[in-house]
Amino acid sequence: MKRYKFKAILQATGWVDDAKVSVNDDGLIMQISSAGSTDDAEIIDAFAIPGFQNAHSHAFQYAMAGLTESHASDSGTPDDFWSWREAMYQLALHVNPDQMQAIATMVYAEMARLGYTNVAEFHYLHHDPSGRPYDNLAEMGSRLVAAAQTVGIGITLIPIFYQKGGFGLPANDGQRRFLSASIDDYLSLYESSQAACQHYSRASSAIGVHSMRAVEPLDIVRLAEQGPQDVPFHMHVSEQLKEVADSIHYLGQRPVEWLLDHAELSARFHLVHATHLTEQETTGLAHSGAHVVLCPSTEGNLGDGLFPLSTYQAAGGQWSIGTDSHIGINPLEELRILDYGQRVSTHKRNIFYHPDQTDSGAYAIHMALSAGRKAMGNQSDTYLSIGDPANMCLLNAQTPLLSTASAQNRLSTAVYAADASMLLPSIAYGKQTLTDGKYQDICRKFVKTMTELKNR
């Protein structure tokens, strides 16, 4: 049994001050009290809120964070998502399994350092550099699970079905490591990925399709109908204007419009980005029960655009956050960018709002947690109560703004005024994630990998 003493912890019913939390060997909270001796407890001067859920990650892309910002002024070629994608393909063609594990361990450690306790890994770098499957179909996926285990966070491994190079187009050579030719091939990969998850008690699996442009649309419907029904279903959709235009040309409909007409969308679907939607698509998506996963720092970096959040929320839609390419990793920053993008486009300040939750910071944290957990396959809405996993994002109670904020203003102070220095490494499943030189060792292996790749 492990015992911690916090300045306060956040439960669904509000803050518990001077909370002593007892955690069993399985990482579950067994007792919470605000009185009694603290002689047997480790004192952490922090406000503990539920650990954040990173609902969309491409771990290997962390190796190229910050490397695509040099723009030739006289090239005549636009620098946009599609040119960035070519740089990403070049990285993907060179990463070996050991390097994948080192990169993923580093980015998962950064997530843990900044308050994430779970990640949904949208994984499509499956095969060897020539495009041949490894003997273990889930070799690369198993390295991602091992990375999460080293850090101590939970992982939902989502092996991705990737089949084509665009609407009606064959895959190109830069995509050769991603491909599964058929649904049967993909399901074999999924079964191997499930097996890889058995090696870590905090690992689970989900179904994923890269996008409507990367898989024949009718195969997406077939997979949704014929594949596992008890796990989440993740997919990129309508991220780019060109993608929408190509869909109209190939299918006669916009991507989400086509999905609403042909697939039985439900709460198990998590559609990533969904940037360019009509009002009818937005409300239809919300009414279907499907969630969206928004990645504000990456969407801003790539020039994707802004999801119509106000319309979606007004129709009852639920959303989570992810860090995608990991150009940004701080969950508080993701929430802030998301809200500010909406404010400057709508000229209103009450975007993170619900009649039952009028505090923007509290609303943002609750939505990111609730919908984020569902993206992991976790349907629970309770947190930091007896019987719950001890998954905590820790806000440093010694920082002046947080130390002086009232309980009522504490969450909005964190979301809107905190920076990374106000965050302490998370506690995941009852254990502190970055202790005893672990972080330094992870950094050393990452630097070695970057030296080998010679891409920085």
pLDDT digits (tens, 9 = 90+) for 388-445: 999 999 999 999 999 999 999 999 999 999 999 999 999 999 999 998 799 999 999 9
Average pLDDT over every residue of 7-23 = 95
Average pLDDT over every residue of 227-238 = 97
342 vs 372: CA distance, rounded Å: 20
Residue 354: pLDDT band with limits 50, 70, 90: confident
Taking the domains of the chain in order of start, what are their residue ranges? 2-50+384-440, 52-376
Average pLDDT over every residue of 115-135 = 98
Does residue 235 surpass a pLDDT of 70?
yes
Overall fold of domain 2-50+384-440: Urease, subunit C; domain 1 (2.30.40)
Q: Residues of 303-332 as b/e, b for ≥16 C-beta within 10 angstroms? A: ebbbbbbbbbbeeebbbbbbbbbbbbbbbb
Q: Which of 26-40, 244-258, 362-376 has the lowest mean pLDDT?
A: 26-40
| Residue 218: per-residue pLDDT | 97
397 vs 7: CA distance, rounded Å: 7
The token duo for 301 is 């970096």
27 vs 202: CA distance, rounded Å: 11
Average pLDDT over every residue of 276-295 = 98
| Beta-carbon-side half-sphere exposure of residue 437 (alpha carbons within 13 Å) | 3
Q: What phi, psi does 194 have (nearest 5°)?
A: -60, -45
Average pLDDT over every residue of 196-221 = 98
397 vs 403: CA distance, rounded Å: 5
Q: Which amino acid is at 80?
A: D
| Residue 68: per-residue pLDDT | 85
Of 254, 316, 256, 319, give the one whose Cα is nearest residue 286: 316
- Residues 385, 391 contacting (CB under 8 angstroms): no
Which tens digit of pLDDT belongs to each residue from 175-206?
999 999 999 999 999 999 999 999 999 999 99
Taking residue 141's Cβ as centre, other Cβ atoms within 10 Å add up to: 30
Q: How far apart are the first and last CA of the chain?
A: 44
| pTM score, whole prediction | 0.97
Q: Which amino acid is at 127?
A: H
| Residue 36: per-residue pLDDT | 66
Of 392, 212, 372, give the one whose Cα is nearest residue 294: 372
| Residue 42: per-residue pLDDT | 94
DSSP label at 28? B
Does residue 21 surpass a pLDDT of 80?
yes
222 vs 213: CA distance, rounded Å: 16
379 vs 34: CA distance, rounded Å: 29
Taking residue 439's Cβ as centre, other Cβ atoms within 10 Å add up to: 18
2-50+384-440 and 52-376: identical CATH topology: no
Question: Superfamily for 52-376?
Answer: Metal-dependent hydrolases (3.20.20.140)
Beta-bridged to residue 20, according to DSSP, are: 5, 33
**DSSP per-residue letters across 161-222:** E---SBTTBPPPGGGTTS---SHHHHHHHHHHHHHHHTTSTTEEE-EEE--TTTS-HHHHHH
Average pLDDT over every residue of 167-174 = 96
Does residue 35 surpass a pLDDT of 80?
no
| Residue 76: per-residue pLDDT | 64
Average pLDDT over every residue of 26-41 = 86
Angle of CA points 423, 427, 431, to nearest 5°: 145
| Residue 57: per-residue pLDDT | 98
- Residues 205, 231 contacting (CB under 8 angstroms): yes
Q: Where in the sequence numbering do the catalytic residues fall?
A: 273, 324
DSSP label at 172? P
109 vs 11: CA distance, rounded Å: 25
| Residue 241: per-residue pLDDT | 95
- Listed in sequence order, the residues at least 6 apart from 319 whose beta carbon sits closer than 8 Å to its beta carbon are 291, 292, 293, 294, 309, 312, 313, 367, 368, 371
The token duo for 113 is 């350092």
Average pLDDT over every residue of 303-331 = 96
